[in-house]
Every structure is written in structure tokens, then in C-alpha cells.
A and B are shown apart, each in its own frame.
Chain A
Amino acid sequence: MGAPTASGTASPHQNGTATTSASWSVEVVYRGIFQKRLANRISRGVVLGARKEGKVGTAFARYGDSPERNGIPAKNFAVVATDEVQLESSLARYEPESVDVSIVVDDTMCKGVESWAWYGVQPINKLVVPGGSLVVTSDKQPDELLRAVKVKPYAYNLVVVPSPVHAGVFAPEGSASFAGLWVDNDDNTDFKCLVAVARVAPQILTLDSVLDIVRERTNDEARVEAARAIYDQIKIRHVEPGEGSTVDHEEYQKPGWTQMREGIVVEAMQVGTRNPLYKKWSTRTRRPLVNFDTCIKCTQCWLQCPDECFEVTPEGTYEVVYEACIGCSICEEVCPVPDCITMVNELAFDNNDNLYPMYASDPEGYRRFLQQHGIALHPELIDKAKKTPAVHQQPDYPSKKQKQPVVTGGEE
């Protein structure tokens, strides 16, 4: 929620142009809980900055996203208007029908987002208007992000808010989460995003208004100048219609009251099956890669995974079902073999296919693939690992459903 910020009456920052009645919307797509403060500061910054120019506005989080869960995508909105009548169309709503600017504060969400508040995976740029902008905080180049972002039938802009790469425990070199997944780092991400809005949509708020906000919040001219410097560094990448990812995601059709069961009863998943619609993978910023050569079949990953994402391979080792994996990294924590399970940047992958088939058909290729992700192969461990007995057998591989594996040795 954040402390309320005092804002004066209309300031000298009138933009001087005659304005017809209009309103504009900005959304912030963020990872729940971790980036909640960041998102709130950005959306409030939009409204309070625009207020300095005499506009009115409202800010709100997407109500259905709460209570937030760690990392599950959520949304925050700011709507700014020239007058109360224009603003009113955006009030008592859960989200705008479209946005002029969509700000994404974790680049792995470019692959699409699934949230509490809506059904199924939605493209990250779903609400962006023709000619609008998708602003992404990232250490990647626009082209790399566009491999993941869904195509649109019209042109829009992509802006990458540049970041230094944070080295450290949770954000090792080259990984996602520029803005810091864990707390509000106060690393100027919010100001940089506001500057980006001023750059692509000055009709919402101008750079001067943003700098006023920075000044008010920090009382630090050095940070004001740093924000001003970002303005010139921002590059706007024009995205053509049809440019981007063509991956489609199933849409859910809601039933009518005559089709629903009475007494607030819904079907549950049968044991051993996975929810066909709610996948959860969009929660992920990193995914685990398994070294099938060194796996000793201890079953800990399979056992400890909170979403039962591990399935048994024909060799009795374990592989990840990436459709279900939320990237919690418990498997990496519990695996006793060095570098057998390693969390790597999610953005490097285009799909959620299981990876054992790649290893089975081309083990050398798979080893090179692990090395490309900076994973040490530990060849000295392979011999011993291959001799370990399997605990489970998966008679039906590749299984179409998540099947309960058969325990080897029967009743023992």
C-alpha cells in the first residue's frame, strides 16, 4: 500500500497544449509479493506525476490477484484523464479494456502470464493498444524478448529499460529479474519505468513531472539526474504486426448457470492427472535442468517437489515436467549430487517440452546443452551413478498422463 504522498495543487507543469477530453491507461505486470511495492510505486507515480499537470487519475491493483502468491504474475493499473467525466469510465472496473503502456518488471513474463485473476495463459501484451508500448525491464535485447512475446495484428513499440546485471545468490549473472525479485531494492527501477512512460507516452506525463516525483521521493539531485539520463538512453523498437511468438494458449469458456453443478460443487482432478488448463509455469523465472548422467536415483527431487513435477525416465532417473514446474528450486536444494539439478534462466527456453527425449536421442548434444548453460558435467561421477539401482519404473514412457510409477522390487 505504501505511505500516501502529499501532492500539491496544479503545478507549473501544464504542458501547454489544448487538450480534448481523454483518458489513458498504464498497467504494471509484476511478480506477486516480491514486486508488489515496486508496482505500487510505479502506478502511483503515474497518477501523481500526471496530477502535477492538472490531470486526474486513479490507481489500483487487479483485485482478483490478491492474496498474492510468491512470483505469481499480478497487475497494477493507473488511469489518467483530463477530467472526472473521462475518468469515470475507468472506475468501478477490475482492469482497463486496453492500455497505452504496459510495464513488465520481470522479463521472464514476456512468455505469457497466468494469474489468480484470469483463466489460462494470457499474452504479456494482451492489453496494449495499436501504437502503444510494451516496456520491459531486462538485461536482454529487444529481439531476444520478441521471441517470447506474442504476435499482435498491429504495430506497437517495445522498450527495454536497461539494467546492470546483478550478480549474487538469487540473480546470478545473466539471469532474469532485473528489478530484483526479492524486495524493493530501491535501485531506481520505479523511476526508470516512469521515465520510460514519459518517453513513449508524454501525453500521460512529462519528464519534468517524473523528475519532480523523483525529487520529492528521494530529495537527491543525483538520482534526479540519473533518471534524466535514462530518458535519452531509452531506445524504442518498433514492432511490426505479426512479429513475435505464435504460440497459442487455450482459452477457457465459462459455463452458464444451467450447466454448472448445484451446491457449489466442481469436478476435481483424478489422482495421477494434471490440470489441463491451469499450468502454473508462468510463475517461473528459472527452470531446473537435470544432468541425467550423474543422477543417482535417490528420489529426493521426485519426493520433495511440491507440484509433483518429476516423472520417471526409462533409466529410472527423473525428469522435469516443465508445464507444471513453478521454479521454486526445492529440487536443486535437495539434490545431493553436485550440479545434477541446476536452476537456469527461463527466458532461454521457447517451450515447456520435457528434456529427457533430447538426452535419449543425443546424449552428447544434451551434455553440450548443459555446458552452454554454464553447468559443470562432473564426468567422474557418471560411472557410479549409472550403477545405482532404479527405485521406480515407468512402464509407459512417454506417459500421456502423469502416471504413478511402479516401485521396483514389489512389496519390499
Chain B
Amino acid sequence: MVIAVPPHTTSNAARPKKFEEEELLLTGSEAIAHALRLADVDIVGAYPIRPYDAVMQAVAAMIADGKMDCEYIVAEGEHSQFELVKHASAVGARSFVGSSGVGWFYAFEAIAVTAGLRLPVVANVGNRALDDPGAFGVEHNDALAVRDLGWLMTWVETGQEAFDAAVIAYKVAEDPRVMLPCAVSTDGAFLTHSQHLVKIPPREVVEQFLPKYDLGDRLFHPDNPITIAPQVDQDWLTEIRKQNDAAMRRAPDVIREAYREYYELTGRQREPFVEEYMTDDADYVLVGQGTIAMPGRVIVRRLREQGHKVGFARLKWFRPFPADEVVERLGRFKGVGIIDRDYSFGSPHHGGVLFTEFRAAFYDSPKRPAMINIIGGLGGREFTAADGQEMFNLLQQATAGELKTNVHWIGVRE
């Protein structure tokens, strides 16, 4: 039987691994729990909120079954939850925490400080629309809200990538050149609660990949007389922020290295920043992050069948925003449609967050494709084939200079 493997799925054929992997049927959330198990996380701060809470449930089950050994603390709310893992990280514990939607917001103070203190906590954000109104479906505004604060941010697409990225997240976050927290975002429902076939490497492989978490002389310990985060004034804050800026500027290289090493080991995650699909001869490209890539590729195949030269590019890391890659890769197309599964009311042209960032990235570039914004999929609304057709039509029209506006909401009931 021939199994057609689309180009975006890295196969193991070209890189024979030296080890066997166990294949399990897991939700994206469970895949992350397995990553935490193999990364030998020391402490998990837990507080339930749908849809990330599938991770904490899976971790709790593993601990109860004796498969995982770590501190598991259920806080009384997300604020305490995120505070406690921040402090645990400061005393040298490899920490994990997670939340969704307004739960993530409840921890905002701790989230800001975690980055400020340069603590490599790894968090899962099970992306969920912000209440009110209550909706469990995916929107990206929860995670995106912290984009200025110094967190590394990645969006994953499949259960496999959720596993791989969670492992890589520790590698990058804990690298002495970086030492920044990392948010791994998983789309609510479509990834958090959807079971995919996931390959899990043996523990030794992950242990080999991940050095021990070492805070060096920043370890908060009685034998190391330091004070963390004393009160400051205008004399100090600029320099503190500058250090954070420098760390974030060093992150892209560290990310590239980590992905290269992971790819050598497992044959997966060859692409660190931008994953392209059917873009070789494309005139037009649709761009998005997270599980939008799944209907995105389906849409691209349908458009290709109609003879259109169109591809899909998935952005994997949002912070640091890979501006160089983005400009180099996307600059060669005639028209680019940036899909935002988020909103940014009142922003320039009333566009979404990604649109605004992509435009900023391209401002100085001599090669600037026509660029439109598609806002859709809010609250977890699916992207349909009809949506795909509409997106493409708009992109074509925009590229031909026929459109007056460049920000379009699709799938809206009028």
C-alpha cells in the first residue's frame, strides 16, 4: 500500500534513527504530558481550565500510575499557580505550568515577572477565546496578549509537534544565552482534544538532548547570597530591560541550533521558523499559525486542482518574530494572505496581530508582496472550503490592485 506523505511531514526515511519509538494515540495535551515526563520536569503547577486542563489531568494520571515523579501542586487559582512555578524555577526546579483564555489572564502579574526575572518556565497555553462570552473554542488572543513581555512563543499544529516542541522548549528556554520563559500554544479543541498518532522516543534520547537545568550563580539558595528583584527606580529599569532585549535577540540562533540537533536525532522538526507547503512555484501564499494549517493545506490542494499557484506557510515561532526568515521566504511571492485567528481592535487598518507584525517586518524590504489580512476562525469557528475560496479570491484581487481595503473578516453572518 502506498501511503502518500505530503512534503510537510518529515519522514524518517532519509534519516534512519538509532532507536525505536513507541506510537501512541494521544491528544495534543497528552503529548505534552509525555514530553514533561521524559524531560523529567520537577514541578507542575496546576489549576484547571478548559482546554489546557487535559494536560494537567494526563500528568496527574501519570504520577498516580507511578510513571512520572514530580511535585504536582494544584493552586487555588491561576495567579498562585504561575507564581509558584516561577519561584520553583528560581530555586532550580524545571517547571511546567499551563492555562487557557482568561485563566492565563488571571496570572498576568506572574507572567510578566517570570520573563522579567529571566526564568525558563515552560507554559502550555491551550488557546481559548477570552470570556465573556464563554466559549471554549480557539482564538489566539490569550497567548498573544503577553507578546511584548519577553516570553518565547511558539504555536504547534499536531500532537507530534506538541511533543517535540515541548521538549525543544526546555532546551531553548534553559540555554544560558537565553534564559527566558517559553509559551507553547496549542489550539483549543483542534489540538488540545484531538487524538493523533504520536511517536514517543525513549527517555534516554530526550535526556541526551536536554542538559540539566542550571541557573548557575543565579540559583536562589542559602549558600548563594543574592537578592532577586529588589525595588528599583528610573535609574535601573532601562538597563534591566536592555538585558532582556539582548536575550531575546540571541534566541533565534539558539532555536535554530536546537531544531537542527532535534532533527538529527529524530528526523523531525527540520524547520524551526516557517514551514512551507506547495510554495515552490507559488504566486500566492496563505499564512497562519497553529491548526489553521490543516484546513489551509486542504484549501491549497483544492485551489491547485483548479490550476492556481498557491501555497501555505505556517509560522512556528511568534517570539522571537523571525523577521529575516519571513521577509526572505515570503518576499518572493506576489500576494500574501495573513490569516489571523485573533483580533486587535483599533490597530492600524483594524488588522489582526499577525498582519500588523508581518507588515512591520516588511516595511524596509525592497520586495514587498501585496499583503492582505484575513480575520477568521474566531471562537473556534472552522475554516471551510468556501472560506478558502473566498480568501484566495480576495488575495488575487488585492494583488491585482482591485481592493480598497486590505483587512477582511471571513465567514461572518451578516
Contact = CB atoms under 8 A, between A and B. Distances in A.
A275 interface: no
A63 B136 contact: yes
B4 A60 contact: no
B239 interface: no
Contacts of A56: 3, 197
Contacts of B193: 60-61, 63
Given A6-B24, A63-B189, A83 B4 contact: yes
A57 interface: yes
Given A4-B30, A88-B297, A264-B133, 18 more contacts: A1-B27, A5-B24, A5-B25, A7-B25, A51-B23, A51-B25, A58-B196, A60-B194, A66-B50, A67-B50, A82-B3, A83-B4, A84-B6, A85-B4, A85-B301, A93-B382, A256-B413, A257-B412
B25 A1 contact: no
Contacts of B50: 66-67
A84 B9 contact: yes
Interface of B: 1-6, 9, 22-27, 30, 50, 54, 57-58, 61, 65, 132-133, 136-137, 187-190, 193-197, 291-292, 294-295, 297-298, 301, 380, 382-383, 412-414
Contacts of A48: 25
A2 to B, nearest CB: 9
B296 to A, nearest CB: 9
Contact of A57 (B24, B132, B187, B197): B197
B380 to A, nearest CB: 7
A205 B266 CA distance: 30
Given A7-B24, A83-B5, A92 B291 contact: yes
A163 interface: no
A89 B388 CA distance: 13
25 contacts: A1-B57, A4-B30, A6-B24, A7-B24, A8-B23, A21-B4, A44-B25, A47-B25, A48-B25, A51-B197, A57-B197, A58-B196, A63-B193, A64-B136, A66-B136, A82-B3, A83-B2, A84-B9, A85-B6, A88-B6, A91-B190, A92-B291, A92-B295, A256-B412, A256-B414
B294 A1 contact: no
Interface residues of A, number: 43
A58 B3 CA distance: 16
B195 A44 contact: yes
A54 interface: yes
Interface in A35-94: 44, 47-48, 51, 54, 56-61, 63-64, 66-67, 82-85, 88-89, 91-94
Contacts of B298: 88-89
A222 interface: no
Given A1-B57, A91-B294, A54 B30 contact: no
A372 interface: no
A261 interface: no
Q: Give me the 7 closest cross-chain CB pairs, A-B, nearest first.
A: A63-B189, A256-B413, A92-B294, A92-B190, A91-B294, A92-B291, A59-B195
Contacts of A409: none
Contacts of B412: 256-257
Nearest to A258: B414
A264 B132 contact: yes
A8 B21 CA distance: 10
Contacts of B197: 47, 51, 56-57
B24 A4 contact: yes
